[in-house]
Amino acid sequence: MLECRNLSVSYGHHRALDNIAVHIAPGEIVVILGANGAGKSTLLQAIAGLVPASDGGQILLDGKSIKNLPPHLIVEAGLALVPEGRRIFGDLTVLENLVLGAYAERARPTEKDNLGRALTLFPRLAERRRQIARTMSGGEQQMVAIGRAMMSAPSILMLDEPSLGLSPILCTELFKALAEIRKTGAGILLVEQNARQGLAIADRGYLLENGRIVGEGSAVSLAGDPAVQKAYLGGVAGGTGRAWPLTPTKPSIAT
Ligand code: ATP
């Protein structure tokens, strides 16, 4: 279980995240929706230890604080991030990229099993295991990035805009893979510009606006909400007639 309570991040005087509360349970897919600049990437980066979180507030993974730990210790604790733009090692083969994902001590004893799982999840990677990664298509490189993250045996997997630039067919394949990953018991925190597909696969979602959570709910209720439809799904439809906030934006777990 990943929980953020009162999480804030500032870049100089700019407060990019303001008292955020989110949680992700094992086996759950949670999507974060928000406009450009809302703070979605900052949220994932703060959780992963890549940008410092402000004083106060907590980030707990399975009850233990991971706030502002060095990134490699956060991976060791069980959290993996697939960053926007993939950032795979272009000059290495697919297999070498995957194996590098298993550097965490927590992953070493099960490296072989994890590799088998990644190659089963993405059969294309199995076929192309000796191919130099930068010669793969964008979608295939995304598979490498996700496969590499899964090699660290995470209990929580975070993905920043994984479908960006992928064809509709590859998007469908990607989202199917996420559904498979959740079956392993990992929780998934997804930032997705493809709100329709994100909500279709997610259990729950949060709406992030100017660094604040302005709504949250089940994926079904969010998808049916006219305000969400207008802002993220490209249209106005029937829905429930509610306006934001969908639920009070209090911390979801009592402190
Ligand atoms: P997008 O969908 O466009 O990627 P986002 O929701 O992921 O946007 P962030 O990248 O988290 O948004 O940015 C949130 C705010 O913080 C923006 O106003 C952005 O300009 C600012 N910001 C992000 N990174 C930095 C940085 N390193 N230094 C200063 N400001 C930053």
List pLDDT tens digits, range 55-80. Answer: 999 999 999 999 999 999 999 999 99
Q: What is the rounded distance in angstroms from the CA atom of residue 122 to the CA atom of residue 178?
A: 11
Task: Give me the pLDDT at residue 235, please.
Answer: 60
Among 23, 18, 21, residue whose Cα is nearest residue 63:
23
Q: Is 6 left (phi over 0), alpha (psi -120 to 50) or beta?
A: left
Four-way CATH pick for 1-78+155-255: 1.10.1530.10, 3.40.50.300, 2.60.410.10, 3.10.580.10: 3.40.50.300
- Domain residues of the chain, as ranges? 1-78+155-255, 89-153
Q: Measuring from atom 10 of ligand 1, which residue has the nearest CA?
A: 41
Q: Are strands 29-34 and 156-160 parallel, antiparallel or unpaired?
A: unpaired
What is the atom index within ligand 1 of the atom nearest the CA of 45? 11
198 lines ligand 1 (CB under 6 A): no
- CB-hemisphere CA count at 13 Å for 231? 19
Q: Residue 237: pLDDT band by 50, 70, 90 thresholds?
A: very low
Task: Give me the pLDDT at residue 99, please.
Answer: 92
Q: Is the pLDDT of residue 215 over 70?
A: yes
What is the atom index within ligand 1 of the atom nearest the CA of 34? 6
Q: Is the pLDDT of residue 39 over 80?
A: yes
CA of residue 14 to ligand 1 center, whole Å: 10
Q: Measuring from atom 28 of ligand 1, which residue has the nearest CA?
A: 11
Q: Is the pLDDT of residue 248 over 80?
A: no
Q: What is the rounded distance in angstroms from the CA atom of residue 55 to the CA atom of residue 53?
A: 7
What does the block give as tokens for 85? 């733009």
CA distances from 22 to 50, 113, 123, 164 (A): 18, 31, 33, 24
Q: Measuring from atom 19 of ligand 1, which residue has the nearest CA?
A: 37
Q: What is the rounded distance in angstroms from the CA atom of residue 96 to the CA atom of residue 148?
A: 9
pTM of the model: 0.89
Burial class for 193, CB neighbours closer than 10 Å (0-12, 13-18, 19+): middle
Task: Give me the pLDDT at residue 2, please.
Answer: 97
Residue 18: strand pairing partners: none
Q: What is the rounded distance in angstroms from the CA atom of residue 239 to the CA atom of residue 221?
A: 9
Task: Give me the pLDDT at residue 87, please.
Answer: 82
Q: Residue 244: pLDDT band by 50, 70, 90 thresholds?
A: very low
38 lines ligand 1 (CB under 6 A): yes
Q: Measuring from atom 27 of ligand 1, which residue has the nearest CA?
A: 11
What does the block give as tokens for 79? 């959290």
Q: Is the pLDDT of residue 245 over 90?
A: no
> Angle at CA 146, nearest 5°, toward 142 and 150?
165
- Mean pLDDT (the chain, rounded): 88
What is the atom index within ligand 1 of the atom nearest the CA of 84? 4
CA of residue 15 to ligand 1 center, whole Å: 10
> Mean per-residue pLDDT for 17-41?
95
Q: Is the pLDDT of residue 255 over 50?
A: no
